[in-house]
């Protein structure tokens, strides 16, 4: 037990002595260099440089020694007399930007070893930012297949071609969708493409209904994103409409079984029409069809169902 206490006391004494040496070496370096061998003087000069740099940055800037050596000297300071007497083997390991708080010291007999951690980066890593893009569209206007389209059409866009086949000319629209995971990961400083423009996120918030407001939201000259199914988000406009953009025009055959349901009048019962009604005079069909209120369902490229809903 006494041996352990003696060893521990010696280790603490060595550590305190080393600290005093680092602090006071700049004042005693010239005197020590005159009385010590060349190799020791070189070590002292390196330590003086170390001490000066410690004062500037509190970090171990540079210290490399290629061989082990011994320190055998006394340190004296003005008004203090002898501050320390050291007789120890040493090993220096150093690199640029070492935090002194991470230095560990071990002792093996007469050998006092300082172990330094890996060097810190010269600069802090730059935080990565995201640039959220809309999900790719799966719609192919040349081969629409089976899908539901948001469309507009005018009077005369439903007609019989030269072969007697009833056709419907449709202007097709779509809106940008964003993955729910992408929106959940969105942070201030990120960017998002809205209407083909890069928008840098300066402000970001979410209300109790899950609407995500960017840069003040819809009411603050910014952008609002909302979701209907928790899998994708889309831009929200006035009257809760979507931000549709025109994709192009297609002409599709109309199936004889097509049914058009008009639910655009909130106070009236829905009106139901069949395909032939589009060709009949005075059919009572109101051609107020636009993407916010009108959809056409296709099956294998044929128009099977058409619906118009109420929009505020």
What value does the CA radius of gyration of the chain take, rounded to a whole number of Å? 40
pLDDT > 50? residue 223:
yes
Residues in the chain: 312
The predicted pLDDT at position 302 comes to 97
pLDDT > 60? residue 57:
no
Higher pLDDT, 276 or 98: 276
The predicted pLDDT at position 73 comes to 47
The Cα 41–Cα 54 span in angstroms is 20
Q: Are 69 and 113 in contact (CB under 8 A)?
A: no
Cα torsion through 57, 93, 46, 67, rounded to 10:
-170
* Of 190, 142, 176, 14, nearest in space to 85 by CA: 14
The predicted pLDDT at position 100 comes to 60
Rounded percentage of the chain residues whose pLDDT exceeds 90: 51
Classify 174 as helix, strand or coil: strand
pLDDT tier, 138 (very low <50, low <70, confident <90, very high otherwise): confident
- Those residues whose C-beta lies under 8 Å from the C-beta of residue 115, and which sit 6 or more positions away, are 93, 103, 104, 105, 106
The Cα 267–Cα 269 span in angstroms is 7
The Cα 302–Cα 312 span in angstroms is 30
Higher pLDDT, 177 or 67: 177
Q: Mean pLDDT, the chain, as a whole number?
A: 77
pLDDT > 50? residue 195:
yes
The Cα 18–Cα 21 span in angstroms is 5
Higher pLDDT, 306 or 56: 306
The Cα 191–Cα 199 span in angstroms is 5
Could you tell me how many helices (H) and strands (E) the chain has, helices first?
A: 3, 21
- Those residues whose C-beta lies under 8 Å from the C-beta of residue 187, and which sit 6 or more positions away, are 129, 130, 201, 204
* Of 265, 275, 267, nearest in space to 306 by CA: 275
DSSP state letter for 236: B
Mean pLDDT to the nearest integer, 42-70: 50
pLDDT > 50? residue 84:
no
The predicted pLDDT at position 297 comes to 98
Tokens representing residue 18 in the block: 């080393």
The predicted pLDDT at position 97 comes to 54
The Cα 190–Cα 201 span in angstroms is 6
* Of 300, 296, 301, 303, nearest in space to 172 by CA: 296
pLDDT > 60? residue 15:
no
pLDDT tier, 108 (very low <50, low <70, confident <90, very high otherwise): confident
The Cα 209–Cα 158 span in angstroms is 41
Sole residue written with tokens 């008004």: 79
Higher pLDDT, 215 or 111: 215
């Amino acid at each position: 037990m006494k041996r352990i206490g003696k060893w521990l006391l010696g280790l603490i004494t060595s550590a305190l002595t080393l600290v005093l040496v680092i602090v006071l070496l700049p004042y005693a370096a010239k005197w020590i260099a005159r009385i010590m061998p060349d190799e020791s003087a070189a070590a002292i000069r390196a330590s003086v440089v170390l001490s000066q740099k410690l004062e500037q940055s509190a970090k171990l800037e540079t210290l490399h020694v290629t061989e082990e050596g011994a320190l055998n000297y006394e340190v004296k300071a003005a008004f203090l007399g002898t501050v320390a007497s050291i007789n120890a083997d040493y090993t220096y390991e150093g690199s640029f930007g070492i935090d002194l708080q991470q230095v560990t010291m071990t002792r093996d007999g007469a050998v006092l070893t300082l172990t330094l951690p890996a060097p810190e980066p010269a600069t802090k890593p730059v935080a990565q930012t995201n640039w959220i893009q809309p999900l790719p569209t799966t719609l192919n206007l040349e081969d629409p297949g089976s899908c539901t389209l948001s469309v507009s059409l005018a009077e005369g866009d439903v007609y019989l071609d030269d072969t007697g086949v009833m056709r419907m000319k449709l202007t097709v629209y779509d809106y940008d969708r964003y993955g729910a995971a992408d929106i959940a990961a969105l942070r201030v400083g990120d960017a998002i493409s809205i209407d083909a423009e890069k928008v840098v996120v300066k402000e970001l918030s979410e209300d109790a209904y899950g609407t995500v407001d960017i840069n003040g939201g819809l009411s603050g000259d910014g952008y609002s994103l909302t979701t209907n199914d928790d899998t994708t988000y889309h831009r929200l406009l006035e009257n809760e409409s979507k931000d549709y953009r025109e994709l192009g025009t297609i002409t599709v055959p109309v199936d004889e079984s097509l049914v058009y349901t008009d639910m655009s009048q909130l106070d009236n019962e829905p009106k139901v029409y069949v395909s032939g009604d589009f060709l009949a005079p005075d059919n009572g069909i109101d051609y107020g069809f636009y993407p916010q209120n009108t959809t056409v369902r296709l099956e294998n490229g044929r128009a099977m169902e058409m619906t118009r809903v109420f929009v505020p």
